[in-house]
Amino acid sequence: MQHIKIAVIQAELVWHNAGLNLKNFSEKINQIKEQVDLIILPEMFSTGFTMQPEEISETMQGEAVKWMQETAAEKKSAIAGSIVISEGEKYYNRFLFVHPSGEINFYDKRHLFTLAGEDKVYESGKEKLIVNYKGWKICPLVCYDLRFPVWARNVEDYDLLIYVANWPKIRIAAWDTLLKARAIENMCYTIGVNRVGLDANNYEYNGHSAVYNGLGEQLAETKPNQEETAVFTLDKNHISEIRNKPGFLNDRDTFEIK
């Protein structure tokens, strides 16, 4: 597909209440009048950004995972976002990309947010994921990953970079700046989906969900501090044009991540 239509949902999250969060997202998804190819939700969209995974985690056969599969099938659209997953005694902040067929690709957040102690309760991911969907190569990453450009470096020639987040208002200037930088340096579309509202720890989130093209030009944004669904279409011709000329990715350095 030369074009892909995407919906991003910037929403408040109810603390540790998967049932209510899934109900709220179902309502928002049902309000989308257009047929879209991909729906993107924030980080830990079913619970909020929690350091108590033992209270709310689920397996890959759990409630939120099944909801994503059912919603993707019903809407004939892929759906993506991160949730808390348990495997044995370990917990993961796991980004799930659920295809309309029910197939799941997943990425475990590599850079755990040490300031909040995320590294003490969650396992770090080891593998970068590139999703192939409708002819688009998509790289999904999570929140704090945004601060680490080496991990995001576009050595796979992916077309679209996605960050889902619970990024607080106090550091939102960094979010805005780094999203734009990742788009420019990787010559790809870059989407950031953040939440709004207060969490149980009294941290405030003000959204600033946005879309940039491969030259760093902002194509779409949501209103700060408000729940909003933004729908937009990306054109793959843009990626081909900027990689052929000026073609800056041809001069990238090679490196090994250890």
pLDDT in tens, 123-171: 999 999 999 999 999 999 999 999 999 999 999 999 999 999 999 999 9
Check if 103 is active-site.
no
Written as six digits, the tokens of 237 are 């011709």
Q: What is the rounded distance in angstroms from the CA atom of residue 26 to the CA atom of residue 51?
A: 25
Residue 47 resides in a domain: yes
DSSP secondary structure string for all residues of 176-229: HHHHHHHHHHHTSEEEEE--EEE-TT--EEE---EEE-TTS-EEEEPPTTS-EE
Residue 235 resides in a domain: yes
Q: What is the pLDDT of residues 38-67, one digit of tens each?
A: 999 999 999 999 999 999 999 999 999 999
Q: What is the rounded distance in angstroms from the CA atom of residue 31 to the CA atom of residue 25?
A: 10
Residue pair 7/209 in contact by the 8 Å Cβ criterion: no
Check if 43 is active-site.
yes
Q: What is the rounded distance in angstroms from the CA atom of residue 167 to the CA atom of residue 195?
A: 7
Q: Choosing from 58, 128, 143, 185, which is the catalytic residue?
A: 143
Q: What is the pLDDT of residue 240?
A: 95
Q: What is the pLDDT of residue 254?
A: 85
Number of domains in the chain: 1
Domain range for 127: 3-251
Residue 132: strand, helix, or coil: strand
Check if 143 is active-site.
yes
Residue 236 resides in a domain: yes
Distances (CA, A) of 102 to 42, 125, 135, 163, 241: 20, 23, 18, 22, 33
Residue 258 resides in a domain: no
Residue 68 resides in a domain: yes
Residue 104 resides in a domain: yes
User: Would the pLDDT of 194 be above 90?
Assistant: yes
Q: What is the rounded distance in angstroms from the CA atom of residue 47 to the CA atom of residue 56?
A: 7
Mean pLDDT computed over every residue of the chain = 97
Q: Choosing from 43, 58, 118, 185, which is the catalytic residue?
A: 43
Residue 256 resides in a domain: no
Average pLDDT score over residue span 16-44: 98
Residue 257 resides in a domain: no
Q: Choosing from 109, 128, 169, 180, which is the catalytic residue?
A: 109
CB proximity list for 33: less than 8 A, separation 6 or greater: none
Q: What is the pLDDT of residue 258?
A: 83
CATH of the domain at 44: 3.60.110.10
